[in-house]
């Protein structure tokens, strides 16, 4: 710059203008580069350097461990001790066969549907939500291709780049990635056994936020939290709503696991307590029914639903019509209630079995919670220092897949997320024994 006789502030202003025009970007590792530089080779007639080009998209890559997990899950014979989905044998296969048979007798359109979702499904969901204490007219519901899509739509449609969301620390892995990749900062609020720590939230809102981190949205998983399994109590939920009111923040409630209560129904949702439309509520069929169906929903004020439906139209034209028709029958014909009644005792048995195995093999080296629903046990090693990364790789070499705590909170050093939803009891027995032995060998 000096040799060109340009002073630093002129240069900084020029860089800012280029960034604002989308011509340069901060790279994930830091620094700045000219957009599209990985494509230089092409411009010069050389063969494309794809290894360089794949560094340049703005979406963050998964951590190497997550990429490994995503591949290993499909390996034959692997024992999945952390997977956040139901085992195939717990899914309602017969009910879906019946539903597909009824659908095959119907005449249907093969055209695009409304991007907001089929009216038939939104009406069925409106009735279902009412049974959960949530009043949502079909016009206040957006059907999404899995609730992760709702997080993406909100990240790009409601939140300004550079703004910040508040969220539990730790939190659902891909919510963190969706926010991060959309250029949104995050303020993690500590949790305790009763979920989000409301006093710490108040402290953060009053004096803990850097000026540039003004937050107006709190993302929370109040029931059977991923990854900790905790449940926010009735009292805390009321306190959260009144804090949100007093501090002028909105709430995004992720109810992915709410229906999966095992001991007693979860306290009423935050949305059911929402008096002035400040809570957005998302749900999904993925956890209790079928993740492969890719069917979720978002409930919110109509301007939000219309805005996000418009982006959804531009993104994927709407959720698969076949999945929506199946889901509409699933709710309207009472399949959901019947399925949950059968699923709960089986999931309860698996939870109790995993707790028994923990007692048998982990008593001297770890502590854990007893979840009242959902899939997860948040295990903390207590017997000294241990590299969770090494534990992950050592277990994987022996055919056991685990989910390290640092996937859900970058700085976490001593937790694992265990799930009792996927492994069969026999696999659980073998896997947990191997995990305990491997951990014991690694303790310093």
Interface contacts to ligand PMP, rule CB under 6 A: 84, 146-148, 172, 221, 226, 254, 256, 284, 286, 291, 296
Backbone angles phi, psi at 347, to 5 degrees: -65, -35
* CB 117, min distance to ligand PMP, A: 14
* CB 284, min distance to ligand PMP, A: 3
Angle at 354 between CA 353 and CA 359, to 5 degrees: 95
* CB 62, min distance to ligand PMP, A: 14
* CB 223, min distance to ligand PMP, A: 10
* CB 21, min distance to ligand PMP, A: 34
Cβ atoms within 10 Å of 159's Cβ, excluding its own: 19
Q: Residue 18 or 156: which CB sits closer to ligand PMP? A: 156
Q: Residue 236 or 294: which CB sits closer to ligand PMP? A: 294
Nearest residue to the partner ligand PMP, using Cβ: 146
* CB 404, min distance to ligand PMP, A: 16
* CB 257, min distance to ligand PMP, A: 7
Q: Residue 118 or 438: which CB sits closer to ligand PMP? A: 118
Q: Residue 38 or 146: which CB sits closer to ligand PMP? A: 146
Q: Residue 128 or 172: which CB sits closer to ligand PMP? A: 172
Q: Residue 85 or 427: which CB sits closer to ligand PMP? A: 85
Q: Residue 88 or 248: which CB sits closer to ligand PMP? A: 88
């Amino acid at each position: 710059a000096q040799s060109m006789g340009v002073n630093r502030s002129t240069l900084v202003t020029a860089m800012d203008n280029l960034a604002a025009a989308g011509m340069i970007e901060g790279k994930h590792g830091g620094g700045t580069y000219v957009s599209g530089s990985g494509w230089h080779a092409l411009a010069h007639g050389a063969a494309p350097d794809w290894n360089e080009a794949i560094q340049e998209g703005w979406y963050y890559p998964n951590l190497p461990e997550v990429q490994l997990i995503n591949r290993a899950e499909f390996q034959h014979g692997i024992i999945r001790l952390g997977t956040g989905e139901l085992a195939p044998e717990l899914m309602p296969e017969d009910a879906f066969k019946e539903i597909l048979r009824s659908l095959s007798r119907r005449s249907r359109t093969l055209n695009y549907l409304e991007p907001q979702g089929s009216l038939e499904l939104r009406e069925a969901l409106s009735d279902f939500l009412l049974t959960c204490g949530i009043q949502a007219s079909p016009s206040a519901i957006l059907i999404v291709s899995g609730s992760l899509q709702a997080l993406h739509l909100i990240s790009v449609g409601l939140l300004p780049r550079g703004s910040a969301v508040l969220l539990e620390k730790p939190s659902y892995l891909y919510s963190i990635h969706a926010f991060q990749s959309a250029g949104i900062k995050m303020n993690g609020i500590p949790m305790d056994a009763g979920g989000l720590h409301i006093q710490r939230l108040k402290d953060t809102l009053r004096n803990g936020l850097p000026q540039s981190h003004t937050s107006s949205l709190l993302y929370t998983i109040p029931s059977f939290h991923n990854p900790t399994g905790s449940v926010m109590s009735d009292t805390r939920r009321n306190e959260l709503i009144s804090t949100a009111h007093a501090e002028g923040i909105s709430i995004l409630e992720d109810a992915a696991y709410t229906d999966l209560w095992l001991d007693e129904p979860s306290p009423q949702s935050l949305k059911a307590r929402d008096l002035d439309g400040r809570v957005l509520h998302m749900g999904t069929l993925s956890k209790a029914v079928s993740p492969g169906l890719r069917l979720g929903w978002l409930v919110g004020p109509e301007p939000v639903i219309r805005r996000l439906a418009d982006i959804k139209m531009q993104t994927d034209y709407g959720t698969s019509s076949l999945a929506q028709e199946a889901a509409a029958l699933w709710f309207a014909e009472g399949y959901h209630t019947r399925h949950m009644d059968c699923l709960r005792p089986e999931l309860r048995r698996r939870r109790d079995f995993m707790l028994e195995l923990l007692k048998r093999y982990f008593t001297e080296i770890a502590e854990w919670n007893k979840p009242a629903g959902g899939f997860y046990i948040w295990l903390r090693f207590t017997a000294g220092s241990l590299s969770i990364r090494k534990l992950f790789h050592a277990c994987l070499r022996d055919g056991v897949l685990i989910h390290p705590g640092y996937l859900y909170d970058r700085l976490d050093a001593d937790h694992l997320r265990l799930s009792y939803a996927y492994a069969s009891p026999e696999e659980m027995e073998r896997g947990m024994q191997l995990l305990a032995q491997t951990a014991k060998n690694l303790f310093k």
